[in-house]
Amino acid sequence: MSDRSAKKSGAFGWFMQRISGIVLLATLIGHFWVQHMPTDYLADEQEYLAIREAYAAKNPEYRKAVEEGLITDPKFGEHIITYEKVTKRLSNPLWKVFDMLFLIFGLYHGFNGMLNIIDDYAKNKGVRLTLVAVCWVLAISLFVIGAQTVLTASPYNPPSFSLTELLP
Amino acid sequence: MPSLESPKTAAKLPYVASFQNAIRKILSYNWRPGMWAWILHRLSGVGMVVYLTIHVFGLRALYDPVKFDALMSTYRSPLFKIGEFALLAIVTYHSINGFRIVMVDFLGWSPKQKKMFYATLALSAIIILLGGYPIIAPYFIAPFFK
Ligand code: HEM
Ligand code: HEM
């Protein structure tokens, strides 16, 4: 294997690192806005309590998790990420497209950067080949997992009855 | 004919790889802003790849409301909030410095790299403080005013 011969000059990777960086700048700002700023995409204290109550009524396991303290109380002034709000936003296909672009460009840019770094430091051929292979396997698995998460995310629809109700 | 004693051909002192020598070597570099900008960019890039990997694996919980809301609850602890703040710092620095690199390369922005690096640091600090406030406030600031 000649050293990554397809891009011997590295100019394409260099160029794409910059283009993907600019795309990421836009998506990261959007992501930060949605996940951290006190907008309607997050639940405030009252909404959080209402959502928790509604889910606990529909889903006994949710109630159990609240009672066991796994789904904790809101803090004063806190804005919280919840399943309800995230899946509601993602029911708009444009948000799915946004998340997919973010995932694809983030993985491309991040792992392209890692290949650059490996190029700089790993001089031994075996070590280098191993690290490059690890990067590819990781990037592809993350793409598959991430795409599945985003594309299948949908509002909670409990079955009309639970099998456990049939048990004595 | 140069004699064997000429500095050019004299045997070099062999470099012995050791912890002390590595530290000495690092300290002997003439650290300038450009090198800091570069090493911080590299470290923050690797940090984000590590975070992104954990993040995407964790988000698999989004198929089940119980799992997802419980996961978000574990993230809502003071320790994780400090981590979130650190992540914001890493992301902000890499983004602004990355933007600076792109502008220098594509638009030929100011060759006054040193000034630009300090401007990058100042802008990062402002954004980190403004953006970090809503993350930190409910955990470390609001309790004092209750
Ligand atoms: C806000 C958007 C971003 C911008 C504007 C940006 C910009 C850049 C640029 C221009 C480079 C090339 C540096 C060079 O060739 O000297 C770079 C490298 C890199 N970036 Fe980003 N980046 C961004 C987001 C990210 C994200 C989200 C990740 C991780 C998932 C990441 C990981 C890396 C890595 C690992 C490198 C390689 C570092 C190196 O070679 O020293 N970046 N970035
Ligand atoms: C602590 C800060 C962060 C929080 C609380 C957070 C939260 C979330 C949540 C709840 C989602 C689910 C999908 C959605 O809401 O649209 C998501 C998706 C995503 N986040 Fe973040 N995020 C954070 C930081 C980051 C950073 C720094 C990056 C980039 C390096 C990033 C990259 C992504 C990507 C690529 C997706 C799509 C995931 C997928 O395809 O499965 N996030 N994030």
- The whole domain housing B114 covers 31-145
| Residue B18 forms part of a structural domain | no
Q: Could you tell me if A65 and A111 lie in one domain? A: no
Say what the pLDDT of residue A5 is: 47
- Residues A105, A127 within the same domain: yes
**How far apart are the CA of A166 and the centre of ligand 2, in A?**
39
Identify all chain B residues contacting A138, using CB atoms and an 8 Å cutoff: 53
**Is B98 inside any structural domain?**
yes
Residue A35 C-alpha to ligand 2 middle, in angstroms? 8
Compute the nearest-CA separation of B64 from chain A (Å).
Answer: 8
Q: Considering its fold, how many domains does chain B have in total? A: 1
Q: Best of B55, B59, B91, B95 to mutate for ligand 2, by most ligand atoms within 8 A of CB?
A: B55
Task: Indicate if A74 and A106 belong to the same structural domain.
Answer: no
Q: What are the pLDDT digits (tens) for B83-136?
A: 999 999 999 999 999 998 998 888 877 667 778 888 889 999 999 999 999 889
Nearest to B51 by CA among B88, B97, B99, B100: B88
- On whether any CB of chain A is under 8 Å from the CB of B138, the answer is yes
What is the 3 state secondary structure string of chain A? CCCCHHHCCCHHHHHHHHHHHHHHHHHHHHHHHHHHCCCCCCECHHHHHHHHHHHHHHCHHHHHHHHCCCCCCCCCCCCECCHHHHHHHHCCHHHHHHHHHHHHHHHHHHHHHHHHHHHHHCCCHHHHHHHHHHHHHHHHHHHHHHHHHHHHCCCCCCCCCCHHHHCC
CATH number at residue B92: 1.20.1300.10
Tell me, what's the pLDDT at B33?
Answer: 73
**How large a percentage of chain B has pLDDT more than 90?**
51
- Mean pLDDT across A135-148: 97
Asked whether residue A76 falls in the same domain as residue A129, the answer is no
Chain segment A37-86, per-residue pLDDT in tens: 889 999 999 999 999 999 999 899 999 999 999 999 999 889 999 999 99
ipTM value of the model?
A: 0.87
pTM of the model: 0.86
For chain A, how many structural domains are there in total?
A: 2
- Residue A80 has φ and ψ, to the nearest 5°, of -120, 140
Q: Considering every ligand atom, which ligand is closest to the CA of A143? A: 2
Which of A83, A117, A138 lies at the terminal end of a domain, its last residue?
Answer: A83
pLDDT-based confidence at A2, cuts 50/70/90?
very low
Instruction: Show residues of chain A in contact with B58, CB under 8 Å.
Output: none
Query: Do residues A117 and A72 both lie within one domain?
Result: no
Kindly tell me if the per-residue pLDDT of B3 is higher than 60.
no
Q: Does B46 contact ligand 2 (Cβ within 6 A)?
A: no
Can you give the residue range of the structural domain that contains A127? 91-154
CA distance A67 to B74: 15
Cβ-Cβ contacts under 8 Å, B60 against chain A: 145, 148-149
In a domain, A27, yes or no: no
- Domain presence at residue A18: no
